[in-house]
Structure 1
């Protein structure tokens, strides 16, 4: 989405604890298999049960992250890309510290040194992360779903008169066209059919109310999420919009800006 940036896009969230625990134990099982049978750690004569402690450290780290994400979701009532990234960074950091602590204090019975953590992370934690993080990300995405705030996308386009306004989901607007002292708003109505509404307002005033829309022409504001493609060259270009047959003109001065933003 161009409107808020990739990090602020809604992302699929794993809300129910039954699914959270299911994913956690899948990861725990795979981690345990790798540790017990591929033996990446030098554990000398330690028993299998003691060696399993590495997996338990990862399990506990993930459990702590689950409580953290649950608190975060309840606080904001939606889940964004940046929240998901924060979860994985937190999991990686907690796992790196806990596994290193377990390795040096329990297995090797040595002292814990922070300055050795980086070398351990590069050698052990990152290779494990390369294997496990894509799996966790896939499972979380597969079982999760998108949550949106009530009226999160509702905007009100106001005209010069109090009675002259349009309250609408911004995702349903195709474009806004200047027409003398009015604007023509093309949008999807409740029957999901294209409709036009005339509001006494200038294009500049409309742009202040919808700053995430893109200028394609001195007379047009376009919803970036409705853009299907840019046709033609800089000298003569048009925009193809999703679910709309009309072509929107693109002037030379806005061509490069439009092309770069929709990428």
Structure 2
């Protein structure tokens, strides 16, 4: 089980997906046209090379489209891709790709009719036998062109903006609050000297909340980290939140007053 839980690379960037797909297209086309497996040499057509290249072209498109949907799985696991994920995804890819190639071979080349029996036989007799040849190349390329993101420590958070180089990694206990204005957010946090500092990113408050869901909304323009909040100053009509560190306060709207007050009591 240790091997299955090992973190490996994942090809996430669209341009790299296209590059891997293109190499797979060249590889499969070469095998089918020149190695001529599965009695390919018996096939005769005025456009034989073009028709046989169709298998490689389909693999290119299937890989790019499939791996784009695969990104949803990658994000679900917080960009930590394991050997077990790669195995499961590879099996599913061959089922999908093999089914597309079956339709091309049966309906377009042989001009036959579809049947579930012939479909399953194609997967068993053709696709399954090609896996030892094709899979090592595909897996090697995915690792070569992939990324491996080291997960953040459990007590850390990562904030990103829309502009390049807008990335901030913080310990949860050092984040105070986030303020939104126009198309930007202002992130207030403690630096290494426990001084309250801020950084401005081009980002929306809703997107920040998706990145850091443990924050609480206390105002239409503010998100607050309740673990660093100290107390509520004033009544529900003009309340403010103060913090354990620093002298800054932020507004607390009447809409969120009761909710935030209860959270502070619980803390």
TM (normalized to structure 2)?
0.51
Deviations 1:14-42 (A, max 9, x none): 22222222111111101111122233335
Give the conservation status (yes or no) of the 8 Å contact 2:33–2:52. yes
Displacement of 1:99 in angstroms is: 0.9
Instruction: Name the CA shift for 1:35/1:118 in 2 (closer, same or farther; >3 Å).
Output: same
Tell me, yes or no, if the aligned pair for 1:19 and 1:143 is still in contact at 8 Å: yes
Q: Is the 8 A contact 1:104 1:111 kept in 2?
A: yes
- Contact 1:10 1:147 (8 Å CA) reproduced: no
Match of 2:75 in 1: 74
Report Cα offsets for 1:151-194 as digits up to 9, x if no partner: 1498xxxxxxxxxxxx9xxxxxxxxxxxxxxxxxxxxxxxxxxx
Q: Distance in 1 between matches of 2:77 and 2:124?
A: 34
**Which of 127, 137, 140 is the aligned partner of 1:138?**
140
2:54 alignment partner in structure 1: 53
RMSD between superposed Cα atoms in Å: 2.3
Q: Contact 1:77 / 1:148 at 8 angstroms: preserved in 2?
A: no
- If asked which structure has higher relative contact order (CA below 8 Å, sep 6+), I would say 1
Contact residue 11 and residue 17 of structure 2 kept, 8 A: yes
- How do 1:149-164 and structure 2 match up within 5 A? 149-152=151-154
Cα deviations across residues 93-132 of structure 1 (Å, max 9, x unaligned)? 0121111111110001100111112322232212222111
- Which whole-Å CA distance do the structure 2 matches of 1:136 and 1:153 have between them? 36
Contact 2:5-2:82 within 8 A present in 1 as well: yes
- The residue that corresponds to 2:43 in the other structure is 43
SS in 1 for 2:4: helix
Secondary structure of 1:28 counterpart: helix
Runs (5+) with no aligned partner, structure 2: 157-170, 172-267
CA distance in 1, matches of 2:59, 2:46: 19
Change (3 A) 1:64 1:112: same
Map residues 235-250 of structure 1 onto 2, 5 A cutoff: none
- Tell me the residue number matched to 1:24: 21
* Compared CA separation, residues 153 and 97, structure 1 to 2 (3 A): farther
Q: CA deviation digits over 1:200-243, x for unaligned, max 9?
A: xxxxxxxxxxxxxxxxxxxxxxxxxxxxxxxxxxxxxxxxxxxx
Aligned residues: 152
1:11 aligned partner: 8
- Runs of 4+ in structure 1 displaced over 6 angstroms? none
| Distance in 1 (alpha carbons) for counterparts of 2:43 and 2:72 | 37
Structure 1 stretches lacking a partner, 5+ long? 155-166, 168-263
Q: Normalising by structure 1, what TM-score?
A: 0.52
Distance 1:72 1:130, change over 3 A: same
